[in-house]
Amino acid sequence: MRSRALSAVALVGLGALALAGCSSQASAEGPAEADPNAPITIATTSVGDDPTAENPADALAELLSEETGREVEIVDVPDYSAVVEALRNHHVDIGFMSGFPSALAVSTGEVDSLIAWPGDQEPVSTCLVLDGSPLQSFDDITPDTVIAFADAASSSGYFMPVGMLHEAGLEKDEDYTPMMSGGHDMSNIALKEGQVDVSCTSTIFPKRAGMGDPMFPFEEGETRSIGESGPMPIAVTMLADQNLAEDKRELLLEALPKVISEENVDRLSTFVEATQGSEPILEPSTDIFEPFVELAAVADVDISDLG
């Protein structure tokens, strides 16, 4: 079952939304009581808009339902900040997030990291230009160069590339013009349509060139990279409402690593690719998020209260 939040939701605004289909019994007083009939609710951002293909979020719901024996409801939200607020306000049980926004969420002390997948040692972000662009490297970027970032709470689409540009001596709003597109797909579309000069996005997308993927609408050779970031200590996490009922928590800790696995990559695509093939860490401590603090400071986001 799928619910959709129709309006753009600010970080502090999701508490006012009535998300259709969310039936979490959590409250501010503590964990919800066990209910074997309660559905599992998942907040996700857009992960597929191709009408001819199965949506990965719908596939996740189906596979997780089969594994747990529970109904699973997907709640579409506009961005990572909305995922965090849905969890903090007990509208959903879990939400799939990349490393940096997960660190931000955990640092509030109001959201749990249920499962974390460590990053590999490969670059996670790339800054792309059209093949015919005059930009050959970061040295060619000027204050008039418009660079598209996916989301202000995105690891591969914001934090990592901003850090990469900083290391190259380029500061946002001074040495280049940043533009928040709202998503990796929108950054890539903006590049294709000539609305921006550079799209800083995840390294998983250029691999989809020529596949007709709406998230990366390019043929092979139409884009090239002018810079790649380093790896991330944590690739992605599954965050959880702190009031998650214990029976759901146990089900999810057992089921999610089985479902979000290479075995289901054809159906779950982005979800599995984002784990970078690593082994999941169940109920990790906050210590694993501390390496994000330095890069977050570069991006003007304070997560120094992690502990």
CB 74 within 8 A of CB 57: yes
CB 161 within 8 A of CB 176: no
Q: Say if residue 213 is in the same domain as residue 241.
A: no
Enumerate the β-bridge partners of residue 4.
Answer: 76
> What's residue 71's pLDDT?
97
How many domains, in total, are found in the chain? 2
> What's residue 54's pLDDT?
77
Whether the pLDDT of residue 295 is over 80: the answer is: no
DSSP characters for 13-67?
A: TGGG---TT-----BTTBPPPP-TTPPEEEEE------TTS--HHHHHHHHHHHH
- The helix or strand, by DSSP H or E, that contains position 267, with its residue range, turns out to be helix 265-268
Q: Say if residue 160 is in the same domain as residue 262.
A: no
The rounded percent of the chain whose pLDDT value lies above 70 is 83
**d(Cα 171, Cα 25) in Å, to the nearest integer?**
45
The rounded percent of the chain whose pLDDT value lies above 90 is 61
Torsion sign, CA atoms 277, 280, 286, 287: negative
Distances from the Cα of 164 to the Cαs of 37, 52, 123, 229, in angstroms? Answer: 47, 36, 11, 6
> What's residue 292's pLDDT?
79
Boundary-marking domain end, from 178, 203, 228:
228
Q: Say if residue 147 is in the same domain as residue 276.
A: no
Q: Say if residue 133 is in the same domain as residue 191.
A: yes
Token pair belonging to 196: 């921006």
> What's residue 104's pLDDT?
80
Q: Say if residue 220 is in the same domain as residue 248.
A: no
DSSP single-letter state for residue 296: H
> What's residue 137's pLDDT?
97
DSSP strands (E only) in 162-268: 177-180, 198-202, 223-228, 234-241
Q: Is residue 306 part of a domain?
A: no
pLDDT in tens, 166-181: 989 999 999 999 999 9
Token pair belonging to 8: 């753009």
Boundary-marking domain end, from 193, 210, 228:
228
Confidence bin at 298 (pLDDT 50/70/90): low
Mean pLDDT over all residues of the chain? 85
Task: Name the phi and psi angles at 262, rounded to 5.
Answer: -60, -25
> What's residue 36's pLDDT?
84
**d(Cα 239, Cα 200) in Å, to the nearest integer?**
25
> What's residue 29's pLDDT?
58
Whether the pLDDT of residue 218 is over 50: the answer is: yes
Q: Is residue 274 part of a domain?
A: yes
Q: Is residue 21 part of a domain?
A: yes
The CATH number of the domain where 147 resides is what? Answer: 3.40.190.10
Task: Name the phi and psi angles at 179, rounded to 5.
Answer: -135, 125
3-state SS assignment for residue 90: coil
**d(Cα 287, Cα 297) in Å, to the nearest integer?**
17
Q: Say if residue 19 is in the same domain as residue 109.
A: yes
Print the domain residue range for 92: 2-118+233-298
Q: Say if residue 223 is in the same domain as residue 244.
A: no
3-state SS assignment for residue 183: coil
Mean pLDDT of 195-215: 95
Whether the pLDDT of residue 1 is over 80: the answer is: no
pLDDT in tens, 13-65: 222 222 223 333 434 557 787 888 899 999 998 665 555 567 899 999 999 99
The more confident residue out of 80 and 60 is 60
Q: Could you tell me the pTM of the whole model?
A: 0.67
**d(Cα 37, Cα 32) in Å, to the nearest integer?**
13
Distances from the Cα of 210 to the Cαs of 41, 68, 221, in angstroms? Answer: 34, 36, 9
Distances from the Cα of 294 to the Cαs of 50, 135, 232, in angstroms? Answer: 37, 28, 12
CB 23 within 8 A of CB 92: no
Q: Say if residue 161 is in the same domain as residue 13.
A: no
Boundary-marking domain end, from 173, 198, 228:
228
Q: Say if residue 165 is in the same domain as residue 32.
A: no
> What's residue 301's pLDDT?
59
Q: Say if residue 6 is in the same domain as residue 109.
A: yes
> What's residue 101's pLDDT?
81
CB count in 10 Å sphere of residue 146: 14
Q: Say if residue 174 is in the same domain as residue 158.
A: yes
**d(Cα 82, Cα 97) in Å, to the nearest integer?**
11
